[in-house]
């Protein structure tokens, strides 16, 4: 009797485990079915899974179509996401002007990430006419809505006096707000403020601490700046080995100036 039960018990346990082992796939199926039934919020959610290949076969073109459908139905986040796809040429032909339109549509609909992305375009003037003052307004709107990149970018405008009056104190406050919530760019920029003594008391020790924090989040320039501090022994004990390691990490994270032949060792 026991001999017949013992070999089937592991099989039974495995079967029970497998029955509920793929909740992600079940969620994707529910989202697809809801989308097919006309729920455009579900279309937006399912499109994200298609875009990322999350428990479904990755299909960027199909994702774009669903984002468009959701955007047309007023799902603001879908508009912002679609804008980035057009800007980067991800499954779509690059169309920067359309990206800007979609970002604005998303921003107006309450997707504050769209405000940040449109602000970046208006700040840089790469695909639309540069308008730093409008960019500042959009970054403020994003920051007030909890989009931390917007806080950091607004701080950068205050630091540089672009689109707003130069105000190092406000810049440092905004950088800290972003950094306290683990935004790497905010930590890097706050570190730079400490290194320069802009809006805060100068402290290379604090700058090194903040560069380290940003570097851990794969911010290439922060790694590079930290490497320079180690190379010079500024705010940290001098260490050529650590300097070299951080500069190499900066290159690996995409900061071209740290790469051999571009200024790095």
- Tell me which H or E stretch contains 4: helix 2-19
Report pLDDT for 14.
40
What total number of domains does the chain contain? 3
Query: For the chain, what percent of residues have pLDDT higher than 70?
Result: 90
pLDDT bracket for residue 265 (50, 70, 90): low
Report pLDDT for 23.
83
Query: For the chain, what percent of residues have pLDDT higher than 90?
Result: 86
Instruction: Please say if the pLDDT value at position 9 is more than 90.
Output: no
Distance between CA atoms of 177 and 44, rounded to whole angstroms? 30
Report pLDDT for 264.
58
Provide φ and ψ at 64, rounded to 5°. Answer: -60, -40
Q: What is the pLDDT of residues 90-130, one digit of tens each?
A: 989 999 999 999 999 999 999 999 999 999 999 998 778 89
Report pLDDT for 24.
85
Query: Considering the entire predicted model, what is its pTM?
Result: 0.85
Residue 29 is assigned to a structural domain of this protein: no
Residue 5 is assigned to a structural domain of this protein: no
Report pLDDT for 21.
58
Instruction: Please say if the pLDDT value at position 169 is more than 50.
Output: yes
Q: Residue 255's domain spans which residues?
A: 203-265
Residue 8 is assigned to a structural domain of this protein: no
Residue 47 is assigned to a structural domain of this protein: yes
Do 87 and 66 reside in the same domain of the chain?
yes
CATH number at residue 167: 1.25.40.10
Instruction: Please say if the pLDDT value at position 152 is more than 50.
Output: yes
Coil, helix or strand at residue 179: helix
Report pLDDT for 224.
98
Residue 145 is assigned to a structural domain of this protein: yes
Q: What is the pLDDT of residues 47-76, one digit of tens each?
A: 999 999 999 999 999 999 999 999 999 999
Distance between CA atoms of 65 and 164, rounded to whole angstroms? 39
């Amino acid at each position: 009797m026991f001999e017949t039960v013992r070999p089937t018990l592991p099989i039974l346990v495995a079967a029970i485990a497998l029955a509920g082992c793929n909740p992600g796939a079940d969620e994707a199926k529910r989202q697809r079915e809801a989308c097919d039934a006309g729920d455009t919020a579900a279309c937006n959610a399912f499109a994200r899974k298609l875009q990322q290949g999350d428990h479904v076969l990755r299909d960027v073109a199909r994702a774009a179509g669903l984002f468009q459908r959701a955007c047309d139905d007023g799902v603001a986040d879908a508009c912002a996401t679609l804008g980035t796809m057009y800007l980067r040429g991800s499954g779509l032909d690059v169309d920067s002007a359309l990206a800007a339109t979609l970002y604005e549509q998303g921003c107006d609909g309450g997707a504050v990430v769209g405000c940040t992305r449109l602000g970046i375009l208006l700040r840089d003037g790469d695909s639309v006419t540069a308008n730093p003052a409008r960019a500042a307004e959009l970054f403020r709107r994003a920051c007030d809505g909890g989009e931390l990149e917007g806080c950091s970018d607004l701080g950068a405008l205050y630091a540089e006096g672009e689109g707003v009056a130069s105000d190092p104190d406000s810049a440092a406050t905004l950088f800290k707000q972003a950094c306290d919530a683990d935004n790497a760019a905010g930590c890097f920029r706050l570190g730079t403020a400490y290194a320069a003594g802009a809006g805060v008391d100068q402290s290379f020790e604090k700058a090194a601490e903040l560069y380290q924090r940003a570097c851990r989040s794969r911010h290439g320039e922060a790694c590079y700046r930290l490497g320079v501090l180690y190379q010079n022994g500024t705010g940290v004990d001098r260490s050529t080995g650590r300097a070299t390691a951080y500069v190499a990490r900066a290159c690996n994270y995409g900061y071209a100036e740290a790469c051999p032949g571009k200024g790095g060792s």
